[in-house]
Amino acid sequence: MIGPGRPQIVLFGSSIVQLSFSNDGWGAILADVYARKADIVLRGYYGWNSRRAIKVLDQVFPKDAAIQPSLIIVYFGGNDSMGPHSSGLGPHVPLPEYIENMRKIVTHLKGLSDTTRLIFLSCPPVDEVKLSENTSSIFSELVRTNELCRTYSEACVELCNEMGVKVIDLWTAFQKRDDWMTACFTDGVHLSGEGSKIVVAEILKVLKEAEWKPSLFWKSMPTEFSEDSPYDLVYTDGKTTLNPSDWTFHREIQWD
């Protein structure tokens, strides 16, 4: 562990999490937004469903860890929602089992510490046309529909509301854009930069509005080593320096 110690924000989920540092992804954006404020820790697993996730909870999130995350953002459901394969193999998880698996995840993560906060992400929609065009012939009986995503998304939202956990309805959030099908995905499922911007905006909205103590909204968190220094760039008066610790002008979007 390197110091100084910062709050940890863990991203836990399937490929939408694993790929969140690719293609101007939402994990990379959060890492930039929280630079010098919190460490973004990636625990994403391509192709995983909730059934696999519950088997590693104790390894990824040990309850006896000396330091627990300040925030965990969880996404599972896209692979669970895929149609069942005739062989019985594949990522499909029946809806009732998915709900119980997600309940187990919530319960385990809630038990890590009194100050560990949770945000769950529900299934975003999919672009079925682009998905069919980009699906490799090496896959067998690949069934992924927007209607299945809706069903699992609604189940996730309902469960989180029942258990008092913050949840973001991505299925609805994406479709607020008229061009969501063409703009938000790289292959019909995984997120483009535009899709990731929606995820970031929704996460920051939750963090800004949450009444958590301490706040995990980036503007409310201290910046590491932010004191003024004579080694900073010199102002036009030739006598004072400019502290760049909280400069954000490099960002394409000035996040709020």
Per-residue pLDDT of the chain (256 residues; tens, 9 = 90+): 688 999 999 999 999 999 999 999 999 999 999 999 999 999 999 999 999 999 999 999 999 999 999 999 999 999 999 988 878 888 899 999 999 999 999 999 999 999 999 999 999 999 988 877 766 565 555 678 899 999 999 999 999 999 999 999 999 999 999 999 999 999 899 999 999 999 999 999 999 999 999 999 999 999 999 999 999 999 999 999 999 999 999 999 999 9
pLDDT for the residue numbered 130: 82
The residue written with tokens 């110690």 in the block is 5
**Catalytic residue, candidates 22, 113, 187, 245:** 187
187 a catalytic residue = yes
14 a catalytic residue = yes
Chain Cα centroid distance, residue 152 = 17
pLDDT for the residue numbered 134: 64
64 a catalytic residue = no
Separation of alpha carbons 241 and 55, rounded Å:
53
**Catalytic residue, candidates 14, 81, 153, 196:** 14
pLDDT for the residue numbered 229: 97
Amino acid (one-letter) located at 78: G
pLDDT for the residue numbered 84: 84
pLDDT for the residue numbered 31: 98
DSSP 127-181: -HHHHHHH--TTSSS----HHHHHHHHHHHHHHHHHHT-EEE-HHHHHTTSTTHH
pLDDT for the residue numbered 150: 96
